[in-house]
Structure 1
């Protein structure tokens, strides 16, 4: 047997390969990363605690643990030790302390899903394999998938395992280009009891959590139930509204059978949030310079009626540097610029998510080292999203719909004609049929004649009430056969996912954006999309142990196939024509290999190497792209090749890990706006997707712990260096001239057929840095325990980044500090079982902005909200 813990399906696998002959030849040499790891080893004093599975290594009370016994970069979070985390923080927010992981959120909790930017090395969380107790989330997209924060309460988690470079081939995922995030919940206790906590703090934050442990109900059968309530005031909505999340969970386990343990778990999630605003980079720099849109003023509260020329989106509370920039909380709908501005009000800028996940786990233990793990799951999703619209937009769609089919009866408003059948305006003039002057009236309004009152069919502001969700179910199974020198894992995953989306638009009561929805007054629909997909994945992995147990050699292969169908009105142009569409795509690759080496230098030091290839299928949204821009034969899956190499071990005063990596990411998919001359231009939910080349990335990461000479004081830290660049320029279309334009270059088009396509236009980004990807990040945390007191202090440095691919819009670096102080009641006193703690986020109230999204030319930023205090009380009984 190996001296190290054998590789397990807790996370090895992943990166990828391109179609034969299409992979980029431009790769960052592994030698560069290997040299960098040696230099970093001389420059960095790394620290991190070892996994409990490690042998011969002392375990200290720290936040992170290295993946001892794994042939790849792997770290874990011990959530019971992570008291520095802000109470109420979502699971996505907690992983920020892992080296190579960076998290930016619009609030300290990571509650608002559309603003969460979780990146691991070169990839976002959408390109990672994420699981909960072995059950895949499918994908982490807030729209088409399920972010992990909906599926589990942080208080019920015990461990989060992060494989920065590659999850193993047994990780069920169809969009994973990089590593994996594995979340594990606590098992029920055999001792009956209860736990209750309550937190209150800044921004009207209130969190409550209660858990009842049933104990051993009958021999071998245990269980618990829990419930939580979470709320806080989002930006710009003080005294008006709150983001609210509620969750109920249960877990039961039976260990009374001879060969199998059975676990059942259920999560019910119900949450509502309000959208938050961002600043365009150009707005941000003008505010900083004190000349916002030529007003001669900088940070202040702007309102639509004070500056009528500001335009549709340029309003809000910038008075504190944008920290309170949120939905429009003040509104006089009788004045102000533009249809768009006055169509948006905070109560029509809202999202809701209701999910139920049920799962069974069967853990079989046969004789002679043979085991099998089976997960069966079912998830139901019921979600909504609201948004305000102006009168003009609704009228435009209604006129276009009648122009395509004058006999349709699904629209509430009717076109108005005089007694002779001539199309007329609201004042009775004969006009061109279906033109902007052709009046739309309420049903029952008489044909126009002198004295007939005009009753508007669209009396004012409108709004959409989008409903989306569906269900998914699946099963994973993994069979393991372990002998003295060999460990074989064979398994697979099947999932069916149905996702439906309907986006109808209705009148609002009284024509006011503050009015209730008139569901009896339907105007139009942007789309009705119904997407079904079947996913199948198979894997085999073998670990052979040799050299007296010092060397583990692991080789694995996975095969992946995804079939996706879509039907309905996939874009508004199809609804206007009253013609539904059916589409089908298939993505597959049956040879995605992984190879790993783990060598034990001694009982306290390991060397590891890992190579993996992985494929990520295009997202669900790609099959709904507008009109003739959809071509399943052209859009290819994304691929990546990933190398990891490193060393980890223990020292007399602590433990460490040091690792380097190289990633080649090819066939990257870019979502762009629908061309302006398309019938779907400006329509919500429509994009054009294309493969636009690749990205090269290399980096070095170090982390560890340090047990100081001061009794009770432990230090932990990590550092990561990363360089991520575009491989080539991006083809942007054709041009009639090659006049120099900043950020673009031109080539003569050898196949030009006219003046308008004489040149090939490229966005000049080859060698540019990937947006929102810092070169340097560093974490530091300290824990000091003295008697019943516990003090923590930590910080993170985040290097400056660009927010556009042209690399012309930089934002500054920042350092953020957190702290906490806690008192635990002494045993055998009246305070036994009680605990009180004070947590402070952004301790020194540092002002900084971070990337909220980036485009080719103009990105967006969001201001941090500032210092936040939270007082928490908890007890067990």
Structure 2
């Protein structure tokens, strides 16, 4: 895009965003550089609904981290409400500078396509928590956590704090080479009542949400809520659907001296059909609406036998271009109990206990494995399961100008996974039907493998936030990390797998991972900040040949043995510095950063995505230099305008030696992340009506390590409006909203290389298309 077109986009969107509640960011523990909450007075009992604060509801985009020693931005509950109910918080975060999010569906609920980057780091290299509960690395088929959309109903999110450069030392994550995303659940209201909402939209989408608030049950303020959400919607192309049920509950017991005991619970169940992966050849020969055959079993059966629809005969690989169906089915339980105890006016003790259980299965109807009865296809089933639990505990002592914080985090986790094949019926003797209706145990004819992983995580941290003067604050500390992981393979079929499966133990450890940051308020409204940190990521886990993450265990036993003694965990040094300006009329942020990434592990694939040759390789160092700038203008009451620009130049430091020779990767851009992003949002509120429009421009993204293939950039717009009717009949408040996703109906490529990157363009570089224009309407009522 030329500079003239970029300037035109900037002018059109004017400098977009919404009025940030700066106190929300500055009150955040992360923003202050310490997790310790200052001892607060006991919560006052509320006897009537809180009136709308001045400017509330006008927030569109960013809350800048006023007073933070690192670059901190975030989203508030008011900003979440601009999106369609049920939208993933990660999609909303994509409005922030340096954050890049993609999904094949408009909600961000389709997990296989959920892809997030921040300053070039993928979601598996970031840290995620919910009320201090670790959510793992957010990769698909997660082994140590839970997807954000399954961990909490989006309507129950109270806010999100984002550290783009490096997460705070005390964030419970073993993967945050880059920043951290800390989600806070909404606290129960002091007033008895509740909310019900109904959403309708494109693709027969129907979403129902209901929350009941107990209000204060006694003079101490004991209270709770229970919430339920149900989503049903068809895929925007092809057959199949996305269905989920979810329950959240939260209990709060205020204690003496401003202390509290909080309990959060989440249950979720999802059934999702897959969108078919695309390649450049399939996009140009069939078009963006290429889809799987479901529910047409006859077409899938014939294709497995070599008889293809006319459209697929134009492709370079009609056998692989479509299948009967692929699905994901999961049930999760997540719970956390947090005691935040102010022992004295200067000593705080905070402890969180948590547990998480996951079970389910994924299906894929494969023409590469025939059934014993003679059918040319079968159903491949994978069964991941998680059982993990742990605790965090930390003390914060405020003495003189210091806030000294020390704590430990321990987690023990089990991850199991198996791969099975079940028989498909002969043509005319039935169909495979709906693969989400249950695990077909009675039809399993082969077990490719079963694996059992275990991991033990121990992290200690110590930090001091020193307020040297009224306007100068320094935070310094370190963490020590030990993660020991390994697996056993009780069952494997060499005839199916072609090789022995990797098994063994690896340890990622570092006794000293330091971080130093500072904030200097040198003039009223003006402040400078900088941060330097050293980070390490533990080795991820996953089953054999799953093509999900760069894990040593996805390879053969021979490859694992050949690399285990020399394989090192990924580490980096992150340097950032910036400037903030904060006033009632303007909020501005500018930052520069550099990242020196060592021992980068990459999932290298070749051949077709269905039966790839997969290896995990240390591709050496990566150097990233970047800049970000954001500005929010509030020229008149009710209007806010936000613009952000970000640039990242992320390249490999050396060439890579492979079995086929030297790959010329030195100086080449890291795939999947755009170099340039522009984001804008305009929000206007007048009386009970508010409306917004937002837009995002992304430059092209590389698909291969040698940069010989890329997907083009694009500009995407969204629109929304909402009207608050106030009290209507028995309801305390009634709200109607309308949203349009992809306002201009842009055809674009969303998720890229979900099956791993190739070194060169070999016609097997996969991606997923983004959803076309979608319409959604919601009516909600408070009682």
For 1:691, the equivalent position in structure 2 comes to 618
CA contact (8 A) 1:820 1:840 kept: yes
Superposed CA offset, 1:712-740 (max 9, x none):
22112211111111111111225xxxxxx
1:849 Cα shift?
A: 2.3
Look up the SS of the partner of 2:94 in the other structure.
helix
- In the alignment, structure 1 residue 84 sits paired with structure 2 residue 82: yes
Task: Return the offset for 1:524.
Answer: 1.9
- The alignment status of 1:541 with 2:470, answered yes or no, reads no
Q: 1:605 aligns with which of 526, 544, 553?
A: 526
Structure 2 SS opposite 1:217? coil
User: 1:393 maps to which residue?
Assistant: 369
Conservation of the 8 A alpha-carbon contact between 2:693 and 2:718 = yes
Kept in 2, the 8 Å contact 1:84–1:820? The answer is: yes
The 5 Å alignment of 1:104-119 reads 104-119=102-117
Secondary structure, counterpart of 2:92 in structure 1: helix
Query: 91-100 or 826-835, which moves further after superposition?
Result: 826-835
In the other structure, the counterpart of 1:864 is 770
- Tell me, what secondary structure is at the counterpart of 1:64? coil
- Checking the alignment, whether the CA contact within 8 Å between 2:652 and 2:669 is kept in structure 1 is yes
Deviations 1:160-187 (Å, cap 9, x if unpaired)? 1110010011011111110000100111
**CA distance 1:53–1:712, change in 2 (3 Å):** closer
Q: Deviations over 1:771-816 (max 9, x none)?
A: 1221211111111112221111111111122222221223222111
Matching residue of 2:744: 844
Deviations 1:4-25 (A, max 9, x none): xxxxxxxxxxxxxxxxxxxxxx
Which position in structure 1 is the counterpart of 2:266? 267
- Shift of the 570–481 alpha-carbon distance from structure 1 to 2, 3 Å rule, reads farther
Check the 8 A contact 2:369/2:376 in 1, yes or no. Answer: no
Evaluate the alpha carbon distance shift between residue 457 and residue 636 of structure 1 in structure 2; reply closer, same or farther with a 3 A threshold: same
Q: Is 1:630 paired with 2:560?
A: yes
Deviation at 1:153, TM superposition (A): 0.6
Map Cα deviations across residues 598-626 of structure 1 (whole Å, 9 max, x no partner).
11113422110100010011211323521
Structure 1 residue 328, shift from structure 2 partner: 4.7
- For 1:251-288, what per-residue CA distance to the aligned partner results, in whole angstroms no more than 9, with x for missing partners? 0011145574111111001001111113212433xx2x
Displacement of 1:135: 0.7
Matched, 1:876 2:779: no
- 1:685-715 CA-to-partner distances (Å, cap 9, x unmatched) read 9842121112111111112311124x42211
User: Does 2:436 align with 1:470?
Assistant: no
The CA distance in 2 between the partners of 1:470 and 1:617, in whole Å, is 18
Match of 1:154 in 2: 154
Residues 646 and 627 (structure 1), Cα distance of their counterparts in 2 relative to 1, 3 Å cut: same
Deviation, 1:137, is: 0.9
Residue equivalent to 1:732: 658
> Are 1:567 and 1:580, in contact at CA under 8 Å, matched by a contact in 2?
no
2:26–2:68 Cα contact (<8 Å) kept: no
**Residue of structure 1 in register with 2:327 after alignment:** 350
CA positional deviation for 1:587: 1.3
Match of 1:186 in 2: 186
The structural deviation recorded for 1:582 is 5.3
1:494-547 alpha-carbon deviations (Å, 9 max, x no partner) = 00110111111122244778336863454322210100000000000012121x
In the alignment, which residue of structure 1 is the partner of 2:37?
Answer: none
> Once the 2 structures are TM-superposed, how far is the Cα of residue 580 of structure 1 from its aligned partner?
8.9
In structure 1, the partner of 2:248 is 249
Within 2, Cα distance between the matches of 1:574 and 1:367? 66
**CA contact 2:500–2:556 (8 Å) conserved in 1:** no
Q: Give distance in 1, aligned partners of 2:26 and 2:135.
A: 33
Return the alpha-carbon distance in structure 1 between the equivalents of residues 522 and 293 of structure 2: 58
Q: State how far apart, in whole Å, the 1-side matches of 2:566 and 2:520 are.
A: 43
CA–CA separation in structure 1 for the residues paired with 2:271 and 2:685 = 39
Summarize deviations over 1:35-84 as a string: whole Å, max 9, x none.
Answer: xxxxx9xxx9797735215789x977323111122111110101223443
Give every structure 1 segment of 4 or more consecutive aligned residues whose post-TM-superposition deviation is greater than 6 Å.
44-48, 339-347, 574-581, 681-686, 828-831
**Residue aligning to 1:375:** 352
Aligned residue for 1:747?
A: none
In the alignment, is the contact (CA less than 8 A) between 1:55 and 1:603 conserved in 2?
no
Tell me the distance in 1 between the aligned counterparts of 2:24 and 2:432. Answer: 60
Cα offset, 1:234, TM superposition: 1.2
Aligned pairs for 1:189-208 (under 5 A) are 189-208=189-208
* Within-5 A mapping of 1:596-745: 596-621=517-542, 622-631=552-561, 632-651=564-583, 653-673=585-605, 687-709=614-636, 711-734=637-660
- Normalising by structure 2, we get a TM-score of 0.84
Q: 2:22: which partner in 1?
A: 51
- 1:589 and 2:510 matched: yes
Question: What does residue range 288-303 of structure 1 map to in structure 2 within 5 Å?
Answer: 292=285, 299=286
* Distance in structure 2 (CA, Å) of the matches to 1:163 and 1:763: 34
* 1:540–1:558 contact (8 Å) kept in structure 2: yes
How many angstroms does 1:586 deviate by?
1.3
Secondary structure at the aligned position of 2:329 is classed as: strand
Match of 2:692 in 1: 792
After superposition, give the CA deviation of every residue in 1:401-428 in whole Å (9 maximum; x if it has no partner).
Answer: xxxxxxxxxxxxxxxxxxxxxxxxxxxx
In structure 2, the CA distance between the partners of 1:463 and 1:794, relative to structure 1 (3 Å rule), is same
TM-score scaled by structure 1? Answer: 0.76
| CA distance in structure 1 between the aligned counterparts of 2:477 and 2:495, rounded to whole angstroms | 45
Please say if residues 17 and 62 of structure 2, whose CA atoms lie closer than 8 Å, have aligned partners that are also in contact: no
Report whether the alignment pairs 1:228 with 2:195. Answer: no
SS of the equivalent of 2:394 reads: strand
Structure 1 residues 812, 518: closer, same or farther in 2, change over 3 A? closer
In structure 1, the residue matched to 2:177 is 177
Instruction: Please name the residue that 1:737 is paired with.
Output: none
CA distance in structure 1 between the partners assigned to 2:401 and 2:499 by the alignment? 65
Change (3 A) 1:536 1:652: closer
Q: What is the root-mean-square deviation of aligned Cα atoms in Å?
A: 2.9
Q: Which runs of 5 or more structure 2 residues have no equivalent in the other structure?
A: 1-9, 28-53, 307-316, 434-438, 543-551
Residues 1:571 and 1:74: Cα distance change in structure 2 (over 3 Å): farther
CA distance in 2 between counterparts of 1:481 and 1:361 reads 19
CA distance change for structure 1 residues 815 and 361 in 2, over 3 Å: closer, same or farther? same
Counterpart of 1:362 in structure 2 is: 339
Gaps spanning 5+ residues in structure 1: where? 1-39, 293-298, 300-317, 396-455, 735-760
Any conservation in 2 of the 1:821–1:839 contact (CA below 8 Å)? yes
